[in-house]
Amino acid sequence: MWTLITLRPLTLLLLLLLLLQPLQLKILHKYVPLSAEEIEQFEDYLEEMRSTGPTLPTPKDVFKRRTIIDPGRPLTDSNYCTDEIKMKNVHNRFRCVKEHFFLQISFEELQDICNNLFVSCKNGVKRCHRSRQSIKGVYCNLIEGVVMTDCVYESSYRQGQVLMTCRWQNDIQEVIPAYINDIMEINDTIKEKHVLHGYFQ
């Protein structure tokens, strides 16, 4: 029969060391004279060692970092996507994403779109929300590469209504944008309305 000692010796050793740390600090202070500042730094170090590590960014923060862009750089730059995807660290487990959208809009305005009625996404599934206003953005389409840093993208400036999915985020109790499905240029939107009214077959 296997016991904790034979299955997880390192874990057990680390647990025992954690129990001894307050005792070690008292012994260390007895033999090595430490100033109050040094003791405080050592206690901060021990606290950091006991912590679970850095917290992961929330889905809201990840979406903002990966999607929202500043107006400083021209959206018509042919290297826009290749540069920004590397800079904003956009990947899927270090593999190149097939397509991506960057939008020039505030997160709050984008989040308001989540309150709009459901419409069909570009794949036909009726789970998207469409913006009422026209939004500027860049569509990135992978043309070369498989893993990060080798990804090369074609950049296309687009302006139109945004189609996106939203999701509920429990920790902040809000509906947030999750994925940009498409930027429908004005001509596409007009044609879609005409198809709905029977003008085109």
Flag whether 159 is in a domain. Answer: yes
Structural domain harbouring 83: 7-197
Of all residues in the chain, the percent with pLDDT exceeding 90 is 50
Is the pLDDT score of 194 beyond 60? no
**Considering only CA atoms, which of 138, 119, 137, 144 is closest in space to residue 129?**
119
* pTM value > 0.85: no
Flag whether 82 is in a domain. Answer: yes
Flag whether 1 is in a domain. Answer: no
3-state secondary structure the chain: CCCHHHHCHHHHHHHHHHHHHHHHHHHHHHHCCCCHHHHHHHHHHHHHHHCCCCCCCCHHHHHHHHHECCCCCCCCCCCHHHHHHHHCCCCECCECCCEEEEEECCHHHHHHHCCCCEECCCCCCCCEEECCCCEEEEEEEEEECCECCCCEEEEEEEEEEEEEEEEEECCCCEEEEEEEEEEEEHHHHHHHHHHHCCCCC
Flag whether 58 is in a domain. Answer: yes
How many structural domains comprise the chain? 1
Q: Which tops the pLDDT comparison, 16 or 148?
A: 148
Least confident of 15-19, 42-46, 154-158: 15-19
For 90-149, the pLDDT digits (tens) are: 999 899 999 999 999 999 999 999 999 889 988 777 789 999 999 999 999 999 999 988
Flag whether 29 is in a domain. Answer: yes
Flag whether 2 is in a domain. Answer: no
Whichever domain contains 116, its CATH number is 3.10.130.10
| Exposure b/e, 172-198, CB count within 10 A at least 16 = b | eeeebbbebbbbbeeeeeeebeeeeee
Q: Which tops the pLDDT comparison, 69 or 194?
A: 69
In the 8-state DSSP scheme, what is residue 127?
-
